[in-house]
Amino acid sequence: MRYAETGFNLEIDLSRGNIERVETDPKLTELHLGGLGTNAKILWDRVPPETEPFSPDNLLIFGTGLLCGTPAPGANRTIVTTYSPQTLLMAYSMMGGFWAPELKYAGYDKVIIRGKSAKLVYLWINNDKVEIRDAAHLQGKGAVETQELIRQELNEPNAQVAAIGLAGENRVYTASIEHGRSSASRLGIGAVMGDKGIKAIAVRGTKDIYLSRPDEYLKLCNEVLKYIKAREEKPVPGVMPILAGLGSPQEMKHIDEKWHTENFSWGNSRTRRKEFWTKEVEEKWRETQLNARTRLISCYNCPMKCGAIISLPGMSTYMMKCFSKLTYAMAAFSDLDFGFRIAQRAAEYGVDGFSTPQIMAFGFELKEAGILTDQDFAGCPSDNEGKFYWLLDRIVRREGIGDVLANGTHWAAQQIGKGAEAYAHNNIKKHEQLPLKLGMLNPIYFLMYCTGEKINITQIEGQFPQAPFPTMEEREDFVKDWIHVPDEKFKQYLLDWEMRGEHSNPYYPTVDMSVDIVDWQERMHYIDDALGICAGLSSFPLKPPYHIHNYPHFISSGVGIDMDEAKLTKAAKRNRTLIRAVNVRRGLRRADEKPPEDHWRKRFPELEEKLLDAYYKFKGWNNDGIPTKETLHELDLDYVAEDLEQRGIMKNE
């Protein structure tokens, strides 16, 4: 018997209309755990690196985390994996909500989709009964609207539905997959879903999931719940309110925008607006949010309530969480009411809330610079908010200039030319980042921005504070109950860390410390993404309930695998290295690993090169970011080394 996982994947070939239930190899669970790890293994094995993102041979994988659907709080993440049309590298995006547990209860760990449908369809997975159903009547429907229409059509109110909107149907590179109170939105995976002709995947499951040692497992779950309660009653002092507790950034719970309005870039420009956040603005935004916020909500089996139901006069209700309430408002130099309203339309269209606002602002910035013309914007309203609605409509429909901008700022700039490239300045590996403009280089964040395979800083950072506490008393108080560190040296790093510029060494933390800290933060994210635990309860916040010390017990008692911290660390490193190898095989090299040029006002090029050198060495990669043969052997990835050697990517090292 398999524990925690079902032991079966659902394989669907849309070109042939074939549906197959396939048993999986338990050895892969021991090596890669599940979720992102086994997704990456499937992509490596079955999709050659020459495959184009919109090829029928590209796979779209919906993977549940290993612990999804078990009683573990927050174990609800779906990991969607494919090749990105935007970066051309491996894309993986996490989705919360209820979809992954429902798939487990239906009897499957993953849905693996290949080929293309000749017509628009949706998938209906109802335990052992799986159908490919016509979706012609859903064409053009909103992503959120589609979910409800399918539940009504199936007469199954408890079905969990993941759907695309018009953006996905039209292969917009920032298209998302929406699922009620969550979405998988980064790197254009919704475009791949649309290219394959899938409007939605609906799931209903009523089967059981078994645990190896249930009494022990439930005791661990209760300890996590107890810790969550105690932790919420004691937020970390000296940290902005949205990050002082647990969960995703608590943007819907708090109205705490001073830091963001001062440090986010407004529009697509390189400017910040320190003068914006006044008491009057704060009160206006507070009133807007409290009036719009119907209630706070959670994902499956989680007490955190990171999202909220939003309802404003003249628009339908929808779910919002995290920074999307800000990104549209700041792109348009507007206010929170506008941010809420356009975000609702964007959710129905199914687009990413980080990239899309920047793309629209980028387009208007090019118009102001004379690079795009009035003819490109013929019919565009003159009022500030109206023009953003207008351009959003054009992008998701791929009409006129919207057809160019639908490919993201990097590819649009390449096509437009005339100096447009200089305005696409907030990308990493062709992917728009959170629009931050900060002061002096932060070595830790430099490494995370440059080297993260997720290519999204909010899915890389966590565990270690973003900045030092001002006084030694605050630092000593913080480390007193810092049980989460994998090594005591991290406590000393924090104690020695002074405000940047005050220490005798302006590059503190040092290179080696920075690498250590980044590796710890990455390790936790890769564990979460394999287990399906929300980062908001583990890898993202300070002092979370899940950490490197109790995770082995969850895996041992839940899955029945003999696990300790060393084995878990090795599994995380194996998954991280395999994903690097996937991208190396797609052409990723050191030259691609650089942050947005003006992310920090003060940069240190010599230090940055040393940071990359040290990080690559620590990971067991060569100086171009390619894993060495020795490292791959240590991680049981000899087949990867053999492939890279045959392709001439790995030399005799």
Q: Where are the domains of the chain?
A: 8-204, 242-420, 439-646
Nearest CA to 198 out of 17, 42, 34, 9 is that of 17
Amino acid 506: pLDDT: 54
Whether the CA torsion 410, 416, 417, 420 is positive or negative: it is negative
Of residues 428 and 508, the one with the higher pLDDT is: 428
Does residue 87 have a pLDDT over 90?
yes
Residue 198's DSSP bridge partners are 121
* DSSP 3-state of 17: coil
Q: What gap in Å lies between CA 559 and CA 568, rounded to an integer?
A: 13
Secondary structure (3-state) at 13: strand
Structure tokens at 468: 């030092």
Q: What percent of the chain has pLDDT over 90?
A: 83
Where is pLDDT greater, at 187 or 265?
A: 187
The torsion angle over the Cα atoms of residues 246, 248, 252 and 253, rounded to 10 degrees, is 0
Asked if CATH classification 1.10.599.10 holds for the domain at 439-646, the reply, yes or no, is yes
CA 572 remoteness from chain centre: 17
Q: Which of 123-127, 158-162, 360-364, 500-504 has the lowest mean pLDDT?
A: 500-504
**Is the model's pLDDT at 382 over the cut of 80?**
yes
The mean pLDDT value of the chain amounts to 94
DSSP state letter for 377: G
What is the rounded average pLDDT of the residues 148-162? 98
**Separation between Cα atoms, residue 108 and residue 23, nearest integer Å:** 9
pLDDT score at 653: 54
The yes-or-no verdict on residue 255 having pLDDT over 90 is no
Q: How many CB atoms lie within 10 A of CB 647?
A: 11
DSSP SS3 for 91:
strand
Asked if pLDDT for residue 621 goes beyond 50, the answer is: yes
Taking each helix axis as running N to C, give the angle between helix 35-46 and helix 511-531, from 0 to 180 degrees, rounded to the nearest 10.
Answer: 90
Band the pLDDT of 503: cuts 50, 70, 90: very low
Q: Which two tokens stand for residue 575?
A: 């998954």
Range 588-593 average pLDDT: 98
d(CA 425, CA 410): 9
Residues whose CB is less than 8 angstroms from the CB of residue 117 and which lie 6 or more positions away in sequence, other chains included:
14, 15, 132, 196, 197, 198
With helix as H, strand as E and coil as C, how does 544-580 read? Answer: CCCCCCCHHHHHHHHHCCCCCHHHHHHHHHHHHHHHH
- Whether the predicted pLDDT of 467 surpasses 90: no
Instruction: Name the class of domain 242-420.
Output: mainly alpha
Average pLDDT over residues 2-8: 98
Confirm if 60 and 69 have CB atoms less than 8 A apart: no
User: Other C-beta atoms within 10 Å of 538: how many?
Assistant: 26
pLDDT tens-digit series, residues 553-578: 999 999 999 999 999 999 999 999 99
Q: How far is CA 247 from CA 180, 311, 535, in A?
A: 18, 23, 7
E strand or H helix at 602, and its extent?
Answer: strand 600-602
- The token pair at 287 is 């009133």
386's CB contacts (< 8 A; 6+ apart) are none
Q: What percent of the chain has pLDDT over 70?
A: 98
Domain 8-204 shares a fold with domain 439-646: no
Helix (H, G, I), strand (E, B) or coil at 134: strand
Phi, psi of 319 (to 5 degrees): -105, 140
Residue 367 has pLDDT above 80, yes or no: yes
- The contacts of residue 602 (CB under 8 Å, 6+ apart) are 439, 440, 441
Look up residue 16 and give its two tokens.
């042939």
pLDDT score for 652: 65
Q: Contact, 653 vs 622, CB < 8 A?
A: yes
- Of the pLDDT bands very low, low, confident and very high (cuts 50, 70, 90), residue 501 is very low
* Count of beta carbons in the 10 Å neighbourhood of residue 412: 24
Which H helix or E strand runs over 228? helix 214-232
The H or E element containing residue 588 is: none
- Minimum mean pLDDT among 327-336, 383-392, 450-459, 550-559: which range? 450-459
CA distance 21 to 242: 43
Residue 507 has a pLDDT of 55
CATH of span 8-204: 3.60.9.10
**CA–CA distance, 47 with 583 (Å, rounded to integer):** 12
629: Cβ contacts below 8 Å, ≥ 6 apart: 641, 645, 650, 653
| 502: nearest Cα among 473, 538, 470 | 470
Phi first, then psi: what are they for 189, rounded to 5°? -70, -25
